[in-house]
Every structure is written in structure tokens, then in C-alpha cells.
Amino acid sequence: MSETFPSPRLAVSAAFALNGVLLGAWAARVPAVVDRFDLSEGTLGILLLVMGIGALMSFPLAGRLADRYGAFPVTKVLAGVYLVSIVAIGLAPDTTVLALALFLFGVGHGAMDVTMNSWAAEVERHAGRSIMSSFHAMWSLGAGLGAGGGWLASRQDLPLDAHFAVTALVAMVIFGPLMHTQWTSTRTTPQAKGPVFALPRGALVLVGLIAMGAGLGEGAAADWSAVFLADVIQATPSQAALGYAVFSVTMVVMRLNVDRLITRFGAVAVARFSGLTAAAGYLLATAFATLPTALAGFVLMGLGYAAVIPLAFSRAAADPDVPPGQAIASVATLGYGAMLLGPPTIGFVAEATSLRASFLLVGCVALMIAALAPVLGRRTHRATV
């Protein structure tokens, strides 16, 4: 009797969901990490910088490994590294070990992000139609579930080590079997040696800048939403965990509808709407010091950023001059580099001014997405995205 495997689309969706669950769990418990180690905003910024450096250093290597060995098998290995890293964060006894664990967490998250998007692009090309946004919807769903679990853990005063260990175990049990599928990944021969950091070139530079604007906003929501609600709005720990959960759920709903919106209105119009809506979200969240208006702001941010990264990665994977893994890695350097390096910068700015001022600055950067939107209309992909 032959073994039945999950479909490739389901397997990719599981990889995206697993990646999101772990980041969502981390995002929701950042205040608990701050309290446990008595971190200042500046120290938290440094630790987030360490995590971001780990991710940035992993991008070019992950891209080359995906092109050489196939995105599918490399993604499965990196998922294991990512699971181990979040457990290590919960077990860290001091800030030195915490920094090492966060570096590994950044490596696992960043490298897996590159390879699973390369894998997703392969499945999308095989399907012959746009499905990239649906994969990113699964990432957002996973992040929302992870953040929701963090909210429950906060309400029950569950220690970090127990919460992160349980999260990793449950994610492995649920998503691991779904990632076990049959798929022959596209392989190319990448350069034997490459730069430490992958940077886009040609038309991908503008695509990378758009991804950078979205990455900065998503990173701010992931790492600073709970802190913003706790410090600026004076929310309780359980209320503070709602910020990223609301943001992530909105991303899921929007991403499930992105393909239809782009088909009807076009990529350029959707990107312009995205930048303007995200900027409005940051303005609303910072203008009024109340929990309902702040949460409404996070809803607008989720609506605004939902379409941008999928559009950027689909465009990168379709580039005629650069292999998919390396193209996605180069755009990810700006996109997810901003997502991971932006939060520590927000911490430094907040310590010099205020967290509210930092959020307003991120909102201004969101306007860049609207300004550069036309580059997403120059597509080489055969499918409509």
C-alpha cells in the first residue's frame, strides 16, 4: 500500500505557519523577557540587533543552499534549528546566553524565511497562478496563533521556559508531519563564493526598498507592539499581548483576499493603498493614548502591510537575471533586514526621544511603499500576481 503524502501546497503552508508561530510566541512575550532580565529600551535594542545580525548573515548562505541543494530539503533542516532556538531563549539564565540564543533564533528565522519563500515560488510556478499571498496568510495565521498562545501564557503567568518549550513541541507535532511531502526542488549552480550580505541589484533594488518599508513596519509590530501598549497606553500584560495578535489576524484576513484585489485593481494600486493605510495606522496608534484606538491602529497596519512582502518576493523569484534563491535572499536582506534590524533602531530612537516618536517615524517610512509602488507593475512572471 503506497504512502499518502500531503500536497506540496499544504506542506509549504505548514512551513510558513510554523515559522510564524515561533515569531508570534516570541513577540508576545517580549515584555516578560524585559521584566525577567530587567532590560532597558536600549539594552533590548542591542539584543534585537544581535538577533537581526544573525538573520542578515544567514540570508546569502540560505539562498545559495536553496539553489544548490533544493529549497524543500533545506527548509526542513532549518525548521529544526528554529525550533531549538526558541527553546534556548526560554532557558537562558543571563543576558549573555540570551544574546547567543537570540542570534541563533535570528539565523533560524531568517534562513528558513529565504528557503521557504524559494520553495513557495517553485510551487507557485508549478500551479501556474498566484498563490504566494495564501502562503504568507498562513504565516500570519501562525504568528497570530503564536501571539494568542503568548497572551494565554501571560494571563496564566506561565514561565518563559515552559511556554517556549511547549510552543516548540506543539508546533513540531502539528506542522512537522505536514511538511513531509514529495517534491523535487529546482536546483541551480550558485556562485561558489558570495558576499557576507546579499544585496539586490538592478530592478531588484527598488523592489528591495519596498520590502524594506514593509519589513520595518512588521518588525515594529512584532517586537514593539506589546511594549508600546504597556508603556504608552499603560495596558496590562495580557492586554499588551493583544496588539500583535490583532495585527496578525488582520494580516491573515487581508492576505486571503490579496490575489483577488490585485487581479481587480492591479499591483501598483494595491501597493499604494498598502503604504497609505499602514501610515494611517501608525498615526492613529500614536495620536490617542487609549487601548481601542491603538488596537484600531494595529488593524490598519495589518491591512497596509499584508500585500507588500508577497508582492516583493513573487517579483524577486521571477527575475530573469538572478536565480530565485539568491534573488529572494537579496530582497530579504532589505525586507527582513529591516524587520529585524529596525526594532533595535526603534529602541535607540525611543531612548533618545520617545517610543511614540519612533512609531511616527516608522509610519513616515510606510509612505515610501506608496511612492515606489510602480516598480511592482514591471513584472516578468507569467502568472498574474
Per-residue CA distances from 85 to 102, 103, 116, 252, 297 (Å): 7, 9, 18, 25, 31
Model confidence at 195, pLDDT cuts 50, 70, 90, reads low
For the ranges 96-110, 130-144, 148-162, the maximum mean pLDDT occurs at 96-110
Reference 362, options 316, 313, 300, 269; nearest CA is: 300
pLDDT in tens, 298-312: 999 999 999 998 888
Give the domain ranges of the chain: 8-182+197-377
Render 76-107 in DSSP notation, one character per residue. HHHHHHHHHHHHHHHH--SHHHHHHHHHHHHH
For the ranges 183-197, 245-259, 291-305, the maximum mean pLDDT occurs at 291-305
20: cell is 510564524
pLDDT at 376 exceeding the cut of 60: yes
At 116 the three-state DSSP class reads helix
CB atoms within 10 A of CB 253: 15
- 211 with 332: CB under 8 angstroms? yes
pLDDT in tens, 56-89: 888 888 888 888 888 888 999 999 999 999 999 9
Q: Which residue has the higher pLDDT, 99 or 332?
A: 99
241: cell is 499581548
Percent of the chain with pLDDT over 70: 92
At 276 the three-state DSSP class reads helix
Q: Is 154 exposed, middle or buried (0-12, 13-18, 19+ CB in 10 A)?
A: buried
pTM for the complete prediction? 0.76
Average pLDDT, the chain: 85
Phi, psi of 185 (to 5 degrees): -75, 150
Domain 8-182+197-377 has CATH 3.90.1150.10: no
Render 299-338 in DSSP notation, one character per residue. HHHHHHHTTHHHHHHHHHHT-SSS-HHHHHHHHHHHHHHH
Work out the average pLDDT over 144-153.
87
pLDDT at 284 exceeding the cut of 80: yes
pLDDT, position 277? 96
